[in-house]
Amino acid sequence: MIEIRGLSRRYGRRWALKGLDLTVEAGMFGLLGPNGAGKTTLMRILATLLPPTSGDALVEGVPLRSRPDEIRKLIGYLPQLFQVYPQMTGGEFLEYVALMKGVDDPRARRRSVEEVVEQVHLGEWIDRKAGTYSGGTRRRLGIAQALIGDPRVLIVDEPTAGLDPEERVRFRNLLATLSLRKTVLLSTHIVSDIESSCRRVAVLDRGELAMAGTTAELADRARGKVWEVRLAESELPEAASWQLVATRQEGSEVVCRVIAAERPAPEAKPLEPTLEDGYLALLRARGGEPA
């Protein structure tokens, strides 16, 4: 569990985080927000890579600001921009990470590497140079290095960005499996990653907590505000002022999914809201720029 209390971070005159209060429970917890919302700043603070300007956090009951060395033994961290030496094999890289984490005995180090390789199904790649890995395999290596030392908390920042759909599904399934016995904080701006993996979610917007609760509660933010409107192609310019979530072509018609507080057109049909609908409705209500 992670308990965040009044956490703030300022860069010059700009506040990246402002008085954040949030409890991240065991299991998979999603952190959503547009680019620039403060997600990466929060993740770097929790990983002890960046000091907060004010406030504190407890990771498994250990205070972040006064005992950062203990925190590092409790967490595994996969940053958004995960770097690896391309000329090293996966096995060599993981042995290096284990050594940096204080696993000095060679036999213990090998056992630690073998365990995480099995967990993330990296065996067939372990003797190949990391520079030859696909995006999905590189992310598996990233999770493997985060798992060395069997941390109780995993912090992963935008882990599926840039992956193809098949790799994204594999990676989400891997994180879901790991969350059965760990706290996994998953930060992303990709709503589908949260929708398929998390029961609880928080939304950051311009450094502030916009909401925290279940994914169903976030979806409900758009209840009564989601509509389907069918237009002829020639009528599509009429939709320019609407908040369009999606469009698709059906014959000569364009089917629009629209978020609006009131029926946007006489023939509009109400729809059941999704998590993405709720997320976009929440940001629009806050005056943000949902994309």
Let me know: does 51 contact 42? Beta carbons within 8 Å: no
What is the structure's pLDDT at 290? 47
- Residue 230, both tokens: 């069918």
Helices (H) and strands (E) in the chain, counts: 9, 14
What is the structure's pLDDT at 18? 95
More confidently predicted of 100 and 2 = 2
pLDDT tens for 194-217 read 988 899 999 999 999 999 999 999
Residue spans per domain, the chain: 2-219, 224-272
- Residue 248, both tokens: 């698709």
CATH 3.40.50.300, domain 2-219, yes or no: yes
Q: Over range 13-29, report the average pLDDT.
A: 94
Q: Find the length of the chain.
A: 291
pLDDT tens for 255-278 read 999 999 999 989 999 999 999 999
**pLDDT-based confidence at residue 240 (cuts at 50, 70, 90):** confident
Q: How far is the C-alpha of 209 from the C-alpha of 242, rounded, in Å?
A: 26
pLDDT tens for 140-190 read 899 899 999 889 999 999 888 777 888 888 888 888 888 999 999 999 888
- DSSP string for residues in 218-255: HHGGGTT-EEEEEEEGGGGGGGGGSEEEEEEEETTEEE
Does residue 31 register a pLDDT over 90? Answer: yes
pTM assigned to the model: 0.87
Helical segments of the chain, H only: 39-46, 68-74, 90-100, 106-119, 135-147, 165-178, 191-197, 215-219, 275-285
